[in-house]
Amino acid sequence: MNLEKRILFFRTLKNANSNPKTELIYESTFELLIAVILSAQATDISVNKATKLLFAVANSPEKICSLGEKRLKQHIKTIGLYNSKAKNIIQTCKILVEKHESIVPDERHQLESLPGVGRKTANVVLNTAFRQIAMAVDTHIFRISNRTGLAPGKTVLEVEKKLLKRVPKEFLLDAHHWLILHGRYICTSRNPKCSQCSVEKFCNFKKKFATAQEK
């Protein structure tokens, strides 16, 4: 996909949604951090259901530490991997209290030093909470990047680096959200809704499919 098409690709997504946002529900940077940790291998819908009850009783590092791991598990047991997530969250909250004055850090190396926070989680927090340019490549973004020809790559990190170089600068700050939402509702893994896709004309997917059929 050349530069002209990339500009039109993102301009089209922007025209349809000028202010894209995460579908995780949160009211503070700390709540966002916890929600993103919980969202690994889970849907935003399931996370929002759990955090609605959790944040009503514990919405700060101190309160979650006081809640304790056992009681925390009761609030998040509907979410996959809740045992390991509860352990990581308790440890993260203790570190935030002891080393960061209960404030979520805005630097990558500090975020990634927190239990349960990998590169993708750090990217989400940096981009969503602190409005830093970062590209959190999940399954949706990985699929779209390869399927459309926007930023093909064999690994998540390869796709992330390519996107940071190939997404036009004017769209970089919000590209993460546009791509996730497009992958979640239009460019789905199975049966992508190509007939409803506003950027279908810039995509390589149908061309590759047609070529494969000819062979």
Q: Are 150 and 160 in contact (CB under 8 A)?
A: no
**pLDDT for res 43:** 93
CA angle 39, 135, 138 (to 5 degrees): 40
pLDDT range class, residue 209, cuts 50, 70, 90: very low
Active site residue 44: no
pLDDT in tens, 80-133: 899 999 999 999 999 999 999 999 999 999 999 999 999 999 999 999 999 999
**pLDDT for res 215:** 39
pLDDT in tens, 59-78: 999 999 999 999 999 999 99
**pLDDT for res 14:** 96
pLDDT at residue 208 is higher than 60: no
> In sequence order, what DSSP letters do the residues of 123-153 get, joined into one string?
HHHHHHTT--------HHHHHHHHHHSSS--
**pLDDT for res 207:** 55
Of the residues 73, 85, 120, 174, only one is catalytic, namely 120
Taken in order of first residue, the domains within the chain and their CATH numbers are 3-20+137-214 (1.10.1670.10), 29-128 (1.10.340.30)
Helix %, strand %, coil % for the chain, to 5?
65, 0, 35
Phi–psi pair at 190, nearest 5 degrees: -105, 140
**pLDDT for res 72:** 97
For 186, which DSSP code? T
pLDDT at residue 37 is higher than 70: yes
**pLDDT for res 1:** 85
pLDDT at residue 213 is higher than 60: no
pLDDT in tens, 141-150: 999 999 999 9
CA distance 133 to 172: 7
- Cα torsion through 108, 19, 179, 196, rounded to 10: 170
**pLDDT for res 146:** 95
pLDDT range class, residue 10, cuts 50, 70, 90: very high
Q: Report CA-CA distances (Å) from 97 to 22, 101, 127, 164, 166.
A: 26, 5, 23, 33, 39
Of the residues 49, 99, 106, 138, only one is catalytic, namely 138
**pLDDT for res 84:** 96
**pLDDT for res 210:** 40
Active site residue 154: no
Average confidence (pLDDT) over 174-194? 94
pLDDT at residue 206 is higher than 70: no
**pLDDT for res 205:** 81
The pLDDT > 70 percentage for the chain reads 95
